[in-house]
Structure 1
Amino acid sequence: MINRNKFAVASGLCAGLLWVICSILVALFPHYMLLMTTHMIHVDITQMGWTLTWSGFLVGLAGWMILAGVAGALLAVIYNRMVGCETS
């Protein structure tokens, strides 16, 4: 059985850590990160640029942490139901 709340928090924290690492990489290596993003999404976005602001960083951080937390909770509920456990 997976504890839904703990898994949700762990998912949110993991997403937050990845967001911070990604933001640091974009700040340090904007050109290379833009190229990598272009390859990852299969769209040529090299004519665009990054917009890095503290408010954007914080809003993105909160948004991704909340989204990952909700997804983590949902995953735990689905898993627990599939294995026949009560949700917690």
Structure 2
Amino acid sequence: MKLDAFKLGLATAIIAGLTWALCSLFIIVIPGGMMQMSGDMVHANLSGMGWSMHWAGFFVGLVAWSFISGLFVWAISATYNRLLS
């Protein structure tokens, strides 16, 4: 079964963007809890650090993570399709 690489990449970019926005909202609402969870995810104690949230950083991260995620999944699905033939 061939995959539509463009649509899969676009869907991934949309979901990555929504995830970025949701995580950013959590950082604004519960910054301490998110810092603890981030530290747990990388096996580090980040309790002495703080978040630096501003609109420019939000939009740059949103565009960057969405684009990179979409491009990555597009490349995977395009490679998968080529391997099928």
TM-score by length of 2: 0.93
Unaligned runs of 5+ in 2: none
The alignment status of 1:21 with 2:17, answered yes or no, reads no
C-alpha displacement of 1:83: 2.6
Per-residue CA deviations over 1:43-65 (Å, capped at 9, x if unaligned) read: 11111100000000000000001
Equivalent residue, structure 2, for 1:65: 66
Unaligned runs of 5+ in 1: none
C-alpha displacement of 1:69: 1.0
Per-residue CA deviations over 1:35-87 (Å, capped at 9, x if unaligned) read: 00000011111111000000000000000011011111111112212333xxx
Tell me how large the CA RMSD over aligned residues is.
0.9
Identity %: 32
Aligned length: 84
Give the ranges of 4+ consecutive aligned residues of structure 1 lying more than 2 Å apart after TM superposition.
81-84
Equivalent residue, structure 2, for 1:49: 50
Equivalent residue, structure 2, for 1:3: 4
State the secondary structure of the residue aligned to 1:43.
coil
Q: Distance in 1 between matches of 2:35 and 2:3?
A: 37
TM-score by length of 1: 0.90
Q: Distance in 2 between matches of 1:31 and 1:79?
A: 41
